[in-house]
Amino acid sequence: MTGHKALTNHEVTICLDGGAVLGPFKATWSTELTSDVRELVKDYDTFLQTGKQSRFKYHLHDSEKRYAHTVVLHFSNVTGIYDRVALSDD
């Protein structure tokens, strides 16, 4: 997808207690597209620091395949989040 400002392509994998894995989910973020991919990682980091979670539902939009993933998580069941970001050549 070209033409979007500050476009970043993410691949997110969520690891859960007991060894289960969700993903990987491809998701796109830009200043012009609505996607919670960056907020998911920021909110999880805040949870690790404070033990508090205020949000549970995240929408991850894959503009390449035109998919929208909705992920509902309780961070106390998450052991880690891996966010691989493809950097642009711009």
Residue 3 domain-assigned? no
Asked if residue 55 is part of any domain, the answer here is yes
- The verdict on residue 36 lying in a domain is yes
Residue 62 resides in a domain = yes
Is position 63 within any domain? Answer: yes
Tell me the mean pLDDT in the region 2-19: 82
Judge whether 54 lies within some domain.
Answer: yes
Q: pLDDT tens digits, residue range 46-58?
A: 999 999 999 999 9
27: containing domain? 8-86
Residue 35 maps to a domain: yes
28 in a domain, yes or no?
yes
Domains of the chain: total? 1
Tokens for 50, please give them.
Answer: 């404070």
pTM of the model: 0.84
Question: ∠ CA(2), CA(68), CA(76), 5° rounding?
Answer: 120
Q: DSSP for 1-66, please give it.
A: --S-TT-EEEEEEEEEGGG-EEEEEEEEE-SSS---HHHHHHHHHHHHHHS-----EEEEEETTTT
The closest alpha carbon to 48, from 19, 18, 80, 11, belongs to: 80
pLDDT tens for residues 58-89? 999 888 888 899 999 999 999 999 999 987 76
